[in-house]
Structure 1
Amino acid sequence: MYNRLFIIAIIAICFSCKDEVSFSQYNALPMEWHKDSVIKFNFQIKNPSLRYNTYINLRVDEEYMFNNLFLIVTLNNPKEELIIDTLEYQMATSQGDLIGKKLINVVENKLTHKEMISFYEGVEYEIKIKHAMRSINSSEGLELLKGILDVGYSIEEIKNK
């Protein structure tokens, strides 16, 4: 009896510490992601007193042929604050196996964008994401990036632990 109560208490504690999703949205891509195509997300935060972690969520398939991914991510709000990040994420092992949560022929990745960030209340934010991939020995951006099926963005409240 006590063992069962102990297990239930542990499970309850684990679920109570889980960060709460404040925003989550995906945009499906056509067969290829064009270098000039910008993925946009708009959101508002209801509780500015909290801190948040933000994530770029990707669904890729076996057509993705790179070990890494370069993204340019812009965070903007009407208060004229603009944050631009050029980010690199590892997407595959050195053997070429995609990293992430595998679901049949799709691999999901939850890539950290910002940690412990705060937002203003009642302000509409805009996130813009575009790829910055290049072919080997080329200074030109890769025209079409294959293998990225969906691009998403999520924001999670950090609960006091």
Structure 2
Amino acid sequence: MYNRLFIIAVILICFSCKEEVFFNQYNALPMEWHKDSVVKFNFQIKNSSLRYNTYINLRIDEEYLFNNIFLIVALDNSRDSAIIDTLEYQMATNRGDLIGRKFINIVENKLAHKESISFYEDREYEISIRHAMRSINRPEGVESLKGILDVGYSVEEIKNK
């Protein structure tokens, strides 16, 4: 009896919160992603008392030759400052198989950026994303990153049922 109650309680807790997509936008890249190219998104927060999860979304194809990706992501924090993160995500297995949801020859990745964050004010925010990829023994970085088709950003409102 107690086992059943415990299992029911765990199930209710797991399904008590859900995410509602609040903002979801993609920018297509022209053949490759140049190291100086910054992808920007603007979104409006109308209720700063809520909590949100944010994601970087990448669509890649077989021309992407790396096992990981380094991204520099800046989220403006207020009118005169920004939160800047340098992030690394695994994009392929050790065997070289791309990780993510596959659609024929395109692989889509939803990469966690910020979890359960709250924004300071109800206003428009800007996110900027650029890659920071380097090849071995080449500190100047990869000039143009091939295989990245689209860069996206999504903001999901965490709602209690």
| TM exceeding 0.5 | yes
Which amino acid letter does the alignment assign opposite residue 109 of structure 1? Answer: N
**Distance in 2 separating the partners of 1:125 and 1:22:** 13
Cα deviation code 1:47-98 (max 9, x no counterpart): 2111000000000000000000000000015532310000000000000000
**Distance in 1 separating the partners of 2:78 and 2:68:** 33
Aligned-pair CA distance for 1:160: 2.3
**Distance in 2 separating the partners of 1:79 and 1:131:** 24
Matches within 5 A, 1:8-157: 17-157=17-157
**Distance in 1 separating the partners of 2:138 and 2:17:** 46
What TM-score comes out, normalization by structure 1 length?
Answer: 0.87
* Residues 39 and 130, structure 1, Cα contact 8 Å, conserved in 2: yes
**Gap runs ≥5 in structure 2:** 1-10
Aligned-pair CA distance for 1:18: 3.0
Query: What is the number of residues matched between the two proteins?
Result: 149
**Distance in 1 separating the partners of 2:68 and 2:82:** 26
**Gap runs ≥5 in structure 1:** 1-9
* Residues 71 and 88, structure 1, Cα contact 8 Å, conserved in 2: yes
* Residues 45 and 120, structure 1, Cα contact 8 Å, conserved in 2: no
What TM-score comes out, normalization by structure 2 length?
Answer: 0.87
**Distance in 1 separating the partners of 2:90 and 2:100:** 10
**Distance in 2 separating the partners of 1:29 and 1:110:** 17
Structure 1 outlier segments of 4+, above 6 Å: none
